[in-house]
Amino acid sequence: MRKEAPGQINAPVISKQKPKKKQLVPFLIEVFAVLICAIVFLIPFYFIIINSFKTSKEAAEMSMSLPSTYQILANFTEVLTTRDNMLLLAYYNSTVITVFSVAVLVIVCSMTGFILQRRSGKGKTVLGFAVLSGLMVPPAIVPTIWVLDLLGLFKTMPGIISIMVALGIPFSIILYSGFIATIPKEIDEAAVLDGCGSWRLFFKIIFPLLKPIHSTVIIISSVNIFNDFVHPLYFFPGAQNATVQLTLYNFMSMYNTSWNLLFANVLLITIPPFILFMFFSKKIVAGMTSGSVKA
């Protein structure tokens, strides 16, 4: 047996480990998932674009082949000028409904979320139950029309805005409530000690801190309201009250459908929400995950 000399320190033995091989299975799964998403989302979009460039006869074939004759300018011009520029009027109506509905949602839901997080008592329980009920209970069409007609709001802009706000309130309150839970209560206490009242505390201190969740609520609500088809159809009927989704009826009838113009119309009303979602998708994810962990 080998004896160690006094004061001698044995050097540690370093074992040479072979570099780990790249795990191909997770990588292939990710590639496969990306391909599936591309097929599901990009192919229908390609189908709409190609058929919006074709003649009426070629578009009726519902093929994905390139058009033999491109009618880009003629198709889109006809879509914009049909029925006395109804699409432009529909853009105006949808924009007004979206802007006012989102503004009300941001103010009302942020204040309600603040109350749900900062107050305690039976009132908070009742309010929380009402919010959850709004998510679970489906809207009733006929009673809602009766109530709007009774209030003189049926077929009016304030009426459809109130409907959109009512439908978006529960989800928006839950988002705001979860985010406000991450804001320390010490901020409120310090503001009260400095002499802030309730309104000043919320709008001067708390409201600016909610910018991430503001972005999320604004973008999600804007896309949903702008693309809504059912509720304007029921609660906002009339030629002068058309919204962008209802203009699809311009090119559909019982005996004939102009598929090339219909696809051109779909493309025109899809581009604004698509661009909005593309540029602000990161803010949507950041806002929805920022309130997931309580500070």
CATH number at residue 51: 1.10.3720.10
Query: Among 19-23, 188-192, 222-226, 238-242, whose mean pLDDT is lowest?
Result: 19-23
| pLDDT for residue 23 is more than 80 | no
- The backbone torsions φ and ψ at residue 257, rounded to the nearest 5 degrees and listed phi first, read -135, 125
Structure-model confidence comparison of residues 54 and 10, the more confident one: 54
pLDDT band at 231 (very low <50, low <70, confident <90, very high): very high
- Other CB atoms within a 10 A radius of the CB of residue 26 amount to 9
Show the tokens assigned to 203. Answer: 């709008």
Kindly state the tokens that stand for 192.
């009260």
Average pLDDT (259-285) is 81
Q: Does pLDDT of 295 surpass 50?
A: no
Greatest C-alpha distance within the chain = 104
How much is the pLDDT for 286? 59
Q: pLDDT value at position 26?
A: 78
Q: Which of 140-144, 171-175, 194-198, 281-285 has the lowest mean pLDDT?
A: 281-285
Q: Quote the domain boundaries for residue 192.
A: 40-60+67-290
What does the alpha-carbon distance between residue 167 and residue 107 come to, in Å, rounded to a whole number?
A: 15
Q: Measured between alpha carbons, how far is 224 from 218 in angstroms, rounded to an integer?
A: 10
Residue scoring higher pLDDT (293 or 109) = 109
Q: Is residue 29 part of a domain?
A: no
Residue 141: inside a domain, yes or no? Answer: yes
- Which residue's structure tokens are 């074709």? 54
In three-state secondary structure terms, 252 is: strand
In the chain, the number of structural domains is: 1
Whether residue 226 is contained in a domain is answered as: yes
Task: Provide the residue type at 117 as one letter.
Answer: Q
pLDDT at residue 18 is higher than 60: no
Residue 52 forms part of a structural domain: yes
104-123 burial: b if 16+ Cβ within 10 Å, else e: bbbebbbbbbbbbbbeeeee
The listed range with the strongest mean pLDDT (95-109, 134-148, 227-241) is 95-109
Average pLDDT, the chain: 84
Look at residue 127 and tell me if it is in a domain.
yes
Q: Is 20 within the bounds of a domain?
A: no
According to DSSP, residue 89 is labeled H
At residue 89 the predicted structure's pLDDT band, cuts being 50, 70 and 90, is: very high
Overall pTM > 0.75: yes
Evaluate whether residue 179 is within a structural domain. Answer: yes
- At 255, list the tokens: 């005996």
The answer to whether position 4 is within a domain reads no
When pLDDT is cut at 50, 70 and 90, the band that residue 3 belongs to is low
With b meaning 16 or more CB within 10 Å and e meaning fewer, what string describes 89-103? bbbebbeebbebbbe
* More confident site: 37 or 262: 262
End-to-end Cα, the chain, rounded Å: 60
Q: For the chain, what percent of residues have pLDDT higher than 70?
A: 87
Q: Return the CA Rg of the chain.
A: 28
Query: Distance of CA 154 to CAs 150, 151, 165, Å?
Result: 8, 8, 15
